[in-house]
A and B are shown apart, each in its own frame.
Chain A
Amino acid sequence: MSTYILKRFLQLIPVFLGATLLVYFLVFSLPGDPIVALFGDKPVNVAVAAKLREQYHLDQPFWMQYLLYLKSIFTFDLGQDFSGRPIATVLGEVFPVTARLAIMALIFEGVFGIVFGLIAGLRKGKLFDATVLIASLIVIAIPIFVLGFLLQFTIGVQLGWAKPTVSSAATIPDLILPAIVLGLGSFAYVLRLTRTSVIENMNADYVRTATAKGLSRFQVVRVHILRNSLIPVITFLGADLGALMGGAIVTEGIFNVPGVGNRLYRAVLSGEGPTVVSIVTVLVLIYCLSNLLVDLLYGWLDPRIRYDS
C-alpha cells in the first residue's frame, strides 16, 4: 500500500514538469508585449521598460526564462507579480477562497446529487424520477453564466435572500449562492450517475439475495445498494474537486469572488507568466492529489480492486 502511494507521488514529478513547461510556453507565446501594456496609454519610458524586462527575465530566451522560473520554485521564491507583491502571498490569498468555494460546491452536489439520484433510481419511471431527470437535463443544457446571472438576479437582487456579490472576506454565508451555481452542473451529473448505478444494482443478484435473507427494504437499500452504487459516484466527485477549483473562473467573475479564477484571468490578460504558471501548477497538483485520493477511496469501497495483490 505505502509503495503504491510512493509510486503515485513519484508520478507527480513528470506531471509537474510537463504542466509547468506547457503553461509557461503558452504564456510566452501570447501576442503583445506585457511590459508595453503595463504603461497603458502613457508613453513608454525605455529605461524603465528595460529594467522591468530584466527583473522579470523577459529579456532572456524561452529556455532560460523557464529554467529561472524552476529555480525560483525550488528556492521557494516565486518572485513578484506586476504590481510588486510576492506571488506566494497572492497564492496564499486566493487559494483558500477558491478552496472554500469548491468544497462547498462539492458538498452541495454530493449530498443533493446522491440523495436525489438514489430516490429517482429507486422510483424509476415514477413522477419524481421523470421530474428530476428533466430538471437535470435543463441544468446541464443551460450555460453556467446564464444560470449564474439568473440566480444572482432573482435570489440576490429581487428576493434579497443572499448578497448578490461576495465581500472581500469571502465568508461561508457569502459563498453559498456562488457554490450552488458552481456545483449545479456537476450536481446534475452526480444525480444521473447515482440513478443509473442504483438501477443497475437494484437488479443485481446479491440484492435479491439480501431480500431473500429477510432484510427490510430500507436495510437492503442502505447496506447493499447504496455502498455499491457509490463507487462510480465517488470517483466522479474526487475528479470533480480539481475541475471545480480550476473551473470557477466564470462563477467567480459573476459574483466577484476574490479567488483563483479572478486572479488567473487578470494574470493571463496582463501576460504575467510567473503568476499564471504558479497558479496553474498548484491547480495541477491539486488535481493529481484528488485523483490519488479517489483511487485510494476506490480500493476502500471495492475490495476487488485493493492494491495488495
Chain B
Amino acid sequence: MTDFITLDPPAAPAHGKGEIVLEVRDLSVDFGVDKKWVPAAIGLNYEVRAGEVLAIVGESGSGKSASSMALLGLLPSNSRVTGSVKLAGRELLGTNEANIRAVRGKDVAVIFQEPMTALNPVYTVGSQIVETVRLHNEVSPEEARRKALRMLELVELPDPEKAFRSYPHQLSGGQRQRAMIAQSLSCDPKLLIADEPTTALDVTVQAEILDLMRNLRNKLDSAIVLITHDMGVVADLADRIAVMRRGLIVETGTAAQIFHNPQHEYTQALLAAVPHLGQGGSDSVSDVDVTAALAAATHAEILSIPEDELLRRERENAAALAAAEAAKPKGEPVLELTDVAIEYPKQGRVPAFRAVEGANLVIYPGQVVGLVGESGSGKTTIGRAAVGLLPVAAGTMRVVGQDISAAKRNGRQLHEMRRHVGMVFQDPSSSLNPRLPIGESIGEPMFLAGVAKGAELQHRIEALLDQVELPRDYRNRYPHELSGGQKQRVGIARALSLKPKLMVADEPTSALDVSVQAKVLDLFQNLQKELGFACLFVTHDLAVVDVLADRICVMQRGRIVEQGTRDQILRNPQEPYTQRLLAAVPLPDPDKQRERRELRAQLLSGAS
C-alpha cells in the first residue's frame, strides 16, 4: 500500500477520455411547501466520465445538494424529482425501490459533509463498514472484516485495526471523514458523490483529505461529483465545473475555463468574493506570492516553476517585505497579555484543563490582530478570556487599562471593563435571543450600562442599524426573519453599541456564504477604519485574517508559535507549523494550486 502514500506527480486531467458514467438530463427538483411546489433545481444537464471530477459549485440554497441527493432518491418525501438520470446507461429515476437500493452504496456512494454526525454513534466504525460490505456482497463475516480493514488502510488511517474497533466519537474529525470515505469506497462504486466533504475540517486536515481523494480517483478510476462552495477546493480537485445559482446551472466548463475565463457574471462575482490568501493587505498594493515566500523560507525547489522564475518571484517578495516597514504602534495597549495561561476550571471529576500556556500578545489602539489556528489550538479561549468569560490562571492580562488576572478579578472591575469591550460571536443564529426583536438586542448593552434610555436609546439603535447598513424598520423584526448575513450585522451592531475600545470577534463570518462573508468583512473593515476600535479577530481562515489584520498570531496546541505583521507572516514565515498552515490553504486557481500542492508535499516529506 505504500504506493498510495506517496504523492502522484500532477497528472493531466483525464476528462473526455473515460466512458460516461452518469448522464443527467432535464433534472428538476421541487419541494412541496404549503401545498405549492417550490423549485430547488431546474432542468439540469450534465454528465460525468470515469476518472473525472465534476465540481458543482454554488452558495447555500443554490440547489447543488438537493439535486445531487435526488440522483439516489435521498430527498425527503415532500419532494418531486423529474427528468432523467442514467447510470452507465441505466435509468435511475422512476425505477422501483429495490432497484435504487441495489445501486445505493454499491454503484453510487456518498460522502457527507459532517463527519461528526454522518456515522452512527452507537456502532463501531468497523461494524458500519462491514454492514455495507455484507449488504452488497455475499461474503462471510471474516471476509467482510478483512475487506473493511483493507479499506481503512487504503484511506491511510494510521492504525486500521484500532480504527476498526473504535466508535466514531473516539476518532478525530479528519479520521472520521477517512472512515466515511473507506465505507463509501468499500463496494468499489462507479460514482462517488462527495457533498462538501471537507467543509467541517481544519485546513491542514482538508488538504490531506483532498490529497487522499485525488489519489483514490487516480487509482480507482471512479467518477466523482464534488459538491462544494469552496473555490479553493474546486481548484484543487476538479476537472470540470458546473456553477449553480437559484436552481439553475449558469455556467459549465473545464476548470481552466471557469477560473481563467469565466463567462457568466455570477461566476465572476463568486470568484471575486473568494477571500484569497495574499490578496488583502491594507498598505501593500501588490498581492503576496505565498508559494514563492514559502519556497524561499524553506529552501524548497518546485519542479513546475522554472528556477529563475522562482528566484525572481522570491526576490520580488523579499523586496516587498523590506518596503512594508512595520508602522510604529502608538498609545497605551488596549489588550496586553504577558505569559498568560488560561484554564477551563475543574468540574466535578473532570480536572482543570489548561487550554492556553505562555501567551504574549499586545494590541494597540486601532490595530487589528488576527489570531489564527486550527480547532483546539486555544484561539477562542484567548478571545473568551479577554472579555472575562474565563479566568486567567497565570500571568497578567490587561484589558483597556484594567488588570483582570486571577488575583485582581472582581465583579465590579469586570463589569467596568466590559463596557469598553464588544464581542461578536461565531454563530449569528444562536447568539441572538430568538424572543427579542433585534432592536432590543442591539439596545440592551446600552440600557444595562445606563448610557441611554427612552427616545435617546431608540435614536442610538437607529444610528447603529444605519452603521451596519440595515433598514431602520428591521428593529422590530425577530432574528428568525433575517438571513445569516443580516443576523451577523445585528451581532456587529450590538457589539458596537457601547463604542468599545476593543472588539473581540470570534469567527464572525465562518458560518456565512462566501459572497455574504465578503460583504460582512467589507462592512467590518469600513467600520473599523471609521470608528478606530482595536480588534482581536479570531478565525481559522487565514485568507480572512489576511484581508483584515495588521498583525497575525499563529496558535498551535495552546501556544502562540509565531506572530508578526501580516507581511512578516505571509512573506517570510519562519515556524514550520505556520509554513504547513499556509501551504494547506487551497488557492482558487488550478495552476497556482498545483504549484502549492507540490510545495506542500515537499514540506511534509521534509518534516517527516
Least distance between A239 CB and chain B CB atoms (Å): 21
Question: In the bound complex, do residue B131 and residue A208 qualify as a contact, i.e. CB atoms below 8 Å apart?
Answer: no
**Beyond A206-B120, A224-B120, A304-B169, is A214–B110 a contact (Cβ under 8 Å)?**
no
Stretch of B101-109, B372-380, B511-519 lying at the A interface: B101-109
- Binary per-residue interface labels of chain A (22-59) against chain B in the complex, 1 for a CB within 8 Å, 0 otherwise: 00000000000000000000000000000000000000
Assembled-state Cα–Cα distance A306/B131 (Å): 23
B246: Cβ under 8 A from any A Cβ: no
A301: Cβ under 8 A from any B Cβ: yes
**Beyond A208-B74, A213-B132, A214-B103, is A304–B119 a contact (Cβ under 8 Å)?**
no
B122: Cβ under 8 A from any A Cβ: yes
Contact partner, B105, options A212, A217, A228, A303, Cβ 8 Å? A212
B460: Cβ under 8 A from any A Cβ: no
Question: In the bound complex, do residue B104 and residue A303 qualify as a contact, i.e. CB atoms below 8 Å apart?
Answer: no
Assembled-state Cα–Cα distance A214/B72 (Å): 10
**Beyond A205-B117, A303-B121, is A214–B167 a contact (Cβ under 8 Å)?**
no
Question: In the bound complex, do residue B109 and residue A212 qualify as a contact, i.e. CB atoms below 8 Å apart?
Answer: yes
Which of A206, A212, A223, A224: most chain B CB closer than 10 A?
A212
Question: In the bound complex, do residue A215 and residue B135 qualify as a contact, i.e. CB atoms below 8 Å apart?
Answer: yes
Assembled-state Cα–Cα distance A212/B131 (Å): 12
Question: In the bound complex, do residue B120 and residue A214 qualify as a contact, i.e. CB atoms below 8 Å apart?
Answer: no
Contacts of A210 in B (CB 8 A): 120
**Beyond A213-B105, A302-B121, A304-B169, is A208–B132 a contact (Cβ under 8 Å)?**
no
Contact partner, A214, options B114, B117, B118, B136, Cβ 8 Å? B136
Contacts of B114 in A (CB 8 A): 205
Q: Which residue of B lies closest to A207 (CB)?
A: B120
B31: Cβ under 8 A from any A Cβ: no
Assembled-state Cα–Cα distance A205/B104 (Å): 16
Least distance between B182 CB and chain A CB atoms (Å): 13
Contacts of B103 in A (CB 8 A): 214
Contacts of B122 in A (CB 8 A): 227-228, 301-303
Which of B97, B122, B180: most chain A CB closer than 10 A?
B122
Question: In the bound complex, do residue A205 and residue B112 qualify as a contact, i.e. CB atoms below 8 Å apart?
Answer: yes
Question: In the bound complex, do residue A213 and residue B117 qualify as a contact, i.e. CB atoms below 8 Å apart?
Answer: no
Contact partner, B117, options A206, A216, A227, A303, Cβ 8 Å? A206
A211: Cβ under 8 A from any B Cβ: yes
Question: In the bound complex, do residue A213 and residue B119 qualify as a contact, i.e. CB atoms below 8 Å apart?
Answer: no
Contacts of A304 in B (CB 8 A): 121, 167, 169
- Binary per-residue interface labels of chain B (106-142) against chain A in the complex, 1 for a CB within 8 Å, 0 otherwise: 1001101010011111100000000110011000000
Question: In the bound complex, do residue B121 and residue A213 qualify as a contact, i.e. CB atoms below 8 Å apart?
Answer: no
Question: In the bound complex, do residue A214 and residue B121 qualify as a contact, i.e. CB atoms below 8 Å apart?
Answer: no
Q: Which residue of A lies closest to B183 (CB)?
A: A213
Question: In the bound complex, do residue B118 and residue A209 qualify as a contact, i.e. CB atoms below 8 Å apart?
Answer: yes
A204: Cβ under 8 A from any B Cβ: yes
Least distance between B238 CB and chain A CB atoms (Å): 22
Q: Which residue of B lies closest to A210 (CB)?
A: B120
Q: Which residue of A lies closest to B166 (CB)?
A: A303
Q: Which residue of B lies closest to A306 (CB)?
A: B167
Least distance between A299 CB and chain B CB atoms (Å): 11
Assembled-state Cα–Cα distance A16/B326 (Å): 71
Give the bracket for the number of chain B residues in contact with chain A. 20 to 34
- Binary per-residue interface labels of chain A (213-231) against chain B in the complex, 1 for a CB within 8 Å, 0 otherwise: 1111100000110011000
**Beyond A214-B106, A304-B167, is A209–B135 a contact (Cβ under 8 Å)?**
no
Least distance between B353 CB and chain A CB atoms (Å): 14
Question: In the bound complex, do residue A212 and residue B135 qualify as a contact, i.e. CB atoms below 8 Å apart?
Answer: no
Assembled-state Cα–Cα distance A212/B128 (Å): 13
Contacts of B180 in A (CB 8 A): 209
Question: In the bound complex, do residue B74 and residue A214 qualify as a contact, i.e. CB atoms below 8 Å apart?
Answer: no
Least distance between B36 CB and chain A CB atoms (Å): 18
Least distance between B594 CB and chain A CB atoms (Å): 32
Contact partner, A206, options B104, B106, B119, Cβ 8 Å? B119
Contact partner, B169, options A205, A217, A303, Cβ 8 Å? A303
Least distance between B227 CB and chain A CB atoms (Å): 14
Contacts of B106 in A (CB 8 A): 214
Contacts of A205 in B (CB 8 A): 112, 114, 117-118
**Beyond A212-B72, A212-B105, A214-B101, is A204–B117 a contact (Cβ under 8 Å)?**
yes
- Which residues of A254-305 have CB atoms within 8 Å of chain B's CB atoms? 301-304
Question: In the bound complex, do residue A214 and residue B135 qualify as a contact, i.e. CB atoms below 8 Å apart?
Answer: yes
Assembled-state Cα–Cα distance A302/B120 (Å): 11
Least distance between A67 CB and chain B CB atoms (Å): 34
Least distance between B127 CB and chain A CB atoms (Å): 10
Q: Which residue of B lies closest to A303 (CB)?
A: B167
Assembled-state Cα–Cα distance A223/B127 (Å): 12
Contacts of A206 in B (CB 8 A): 117-121
Question: In the bound complex, do residue A212 and residue B101 qualify as a contact, i.e. CB atoms below 8 Å apart?
Answer: no
Contacts of B118 in A (CB 8 A): 205-206, 208-209
Q: Which residue of A lies closest to B129 (CB)?
A: A213
Contacts of A215 in B (CB 8 A): 101, 105, 131, 135
- Binary per-residue interface labels of chain A (165-191) against chain B in the complex, 1 for a CB within 8 Å, 0 otherwise: 000000000000000000000000000
Least distance between B27 CB and chain A CB atoms (Å): 18
Contacts of A208 in B (CB 8 A): 74, 112, 118
Q: Which residue of A lies closest to B116 (CB)?
A: A205
Least distance between B201 CB and chain A CB atoms (Å): 15
Assembled-state Cα–Cα distance A216/B102 (Å): 10
Question: In the bound complex, do residue A214 and residue B104 qualify as a contact, i.e. CB atoms below 8 Å apart?
Answer: yes
Least distance between B402 CB and chain A CB atoms (Å): 40
Q: Which residue of A lies closest to B103 (CB)?
A: A214
- Which residues of B152-205 have CB atoms within 8 Å of chain A's CB atoms? 167, 169, 180, 183
- Binary per-residue interface labels of chain A (103-145) against chain B in the complex, 1 for a CB within 8 Å, 0 otherwise: 0000000000000000000000000000000000000000000
Contact partner, B110, options A204, A212, A302, A303, Cβ 8 Å? A212
User: Residues of B at under 8 Å CB distance from A?
Assistant: 72, 74, 97, 101-106, 109-110, 112, 114, 117-122, 131-132, 135-136, 167, 169, 180, 183
Question: Which are the 4 A-B pairs with shortest beta-carbon distances?
Answer: A214-B105, A214-B104, A213-B105, A205-B117
Can you list 22 residue pairs at the A/B interface with Cβ under 8 Å?
A205-B114, A206-B118, A208-B118, A209-B118, A209-B119, A209-B180, A213-B105, A213-B131, A213-B132, A213-B135, A213-B183, A214-B102, A214-B104, A214-B106, A214-B136, A216-B101, A217-B97, A227-B122, A301-B122, A303-B122, A304-B121, A304-B169
14 more A-B residue pairs beyond the given contacts A212-B112, A215-B135, A303-B169, with a C-beta to C-beta distance below 8 A: A204-B117, A205-B114, A206-B121, A209-B120, A210-B120, A211-B104, A212-B74, A212-B110, A214-B132, A215-B131, A228-B121, A301-B122, A302-B121, A304-B167
